[in-house]
Structure 1
Amino acid sequence: MLFHYHFWTPDVEEMERFYQEAGFQTYQRIGKSEGSFQDFSPPLTWEDFRGQAILFRIIEMRKGMINVTFGHGKKIQFDHIGFLVSPSEHEEICDRAKRLGWSVEHNPKRTFLATPYQFEIELQTDRSYLASDSAAAIRQMTLQLPQEGLLEDLRILFGEEIPGIRLQKGPAAMLTEVDMSGFPSPVEATTLLDPCGVRLSFS
């Protein structure tokens, strides 16, 4: 199941505010301050640490079966998308990724597949990264890529077609649109543009 995407951005506070206003909840903030990583997660608010020099490694937002993360970067940069899979699917997908010549990086919380398409794919087996507040889910993502071949590689990787990915041609890898189902738009408009340039559609 397609459930996740991650960006780097110079304005993480603006991103958090946008997704909160869109109906997401902040679950985690981890940032580097005074040389070490510290937890600034809720119930702390930005006013509790405003003025401190913090480089946020990750801020995590959740709504139903949608998980959005972002961290501090010098410029806006799309990093990866994520799939929730079973443990048995995880092993099969990793084996297929290696046969495709993709590098596979395991860590205790997740696995990353380095694709040749200028972005990574995260594999997650832990359903606790989902919220239980609604039936919200990602129906479809639109990716802009400079080269072809991703859809066929995904079919090989997962052993089936992935209908939730749509492609468009562009100069660099970018997530351009996310179609979200299961909850209405938080405003009158049915689409919103997030601070990283991703168009969100609600239904």
Structure 2
Amino acid sequence: MLFHYHFWTPYVEETEKFYEDNGFRIFQRVGKYDGDFQTFNPPLTWNDFREKKILFRIVEVRKGNINITFGYGKKIMFDHIGFLVSEKEQNKICENAEKMNWEVNRGERRTFITTPYRFRIELQTNTDVIDPMTDNIKIKELKLETKKKGLDNDLSILFNKTANNIISEVGDEVTIKEAVINGLLSSNIVDPNGVRIINSI
């Protein structure tokens, strides 16, 4: 199940507000302050720490089966998308990635696959990364822009089936152009990182 995407962005507060205004809840904020990583989780708000020089590593927002994260970057940069899979599915996908000569980095909590399209794919087996499952709130489709052809075919090989919820087009940058999401409060809006959000009923 496609459940996740991550950006680095200079617009951390604006991105958080955008998703909160559309019904997401703030799950966590982790940032580096005075040389140490600390949490600034709710009920703290930006008014409590905006004047501090915090380098946010991750802000995580959730809604139903959707988990979106972002952290501070000097420029907007799309980093990865994430799929919630079983351990059996994860093992098979990793085998396929290795046959394709894609780098696989297995971790205790999650596994990352580095693609030749300048973004990564996260494989997650822990269901605690999303709120209690609600079928009507999920990412139905992502439209990705990449700088080279072949993503659709490679994803079919990686997952051993057609990845119908990922659509790709070739362009000048590597990013998510559009996300079709169930259960949002608004539709046809653009987040601070250039992702157009379409609400699907």
Q: TM-score, normalised by structure 2?
A: 0.95
Residue 150 (structure 1) aligns with: 151
Structure 2: segments with no counterpart, 5+ residues:
none
Letter of the 2:192 counterpart: P
Residue 193 (structure 2) aligns with: 196
Residues 105-116 of structure 1 mapped to structure 2, 5 A cutoff = 105-116=105-116
1:118–1:172 Cα contact (<8 Å) kept: no
Distance in 2 between residues matched to 1:80 and 1:98, nearest whole Å: 18
Deviation (angstroms), 1:163: 0.4
Letter of the 1:186 counterpart: L
Distance in 1 between residues matched to 2:56 and 2:44, nearest whole Å: 14
Q: Give yes or no for the alignment of 1:72 onto 2:72.
A: yes
Q: Which stretches of structure 1, 4 residues or longer, exceed 2 Å deviation after superposition?
A: 132-135
Structure 1: segments with no counterpart, 5+ residues:
none
1:194–1:200 Cα contact (<8 Å) kept: yes
Distance in 2 between residues matched to 1:112 and 1:198, nearest whole Å: 22
Deviation (angstroms), 1:153: 1.2
Distance in 1 between residues matched to 2:19 and 2:145, nearest whole Å: 22
Deviation (angstroms), 1:107: 2.0
Q: Deviations over 1:12-62 (max 9, x none)?
A: 000000000011001010000111111111122112222111000000011
SS of the counterpart of 1:123?
strand
Identity fraction in percent: 49
Residue 6 (structure 2) aligns with: 6
Residue 186 (structure 1) aligns with: 185
**How large is the RMSD of aligned CA atoms in angstroms?**
1.2
Count how many residue pairs are aligned between Structure 1 and Structure 2: 199
Q: TM-score, normalised by structure 1?
A: 0.94
Distance in 2 between residues matched to 1:168 and 1:156, nearest whole Å: 18
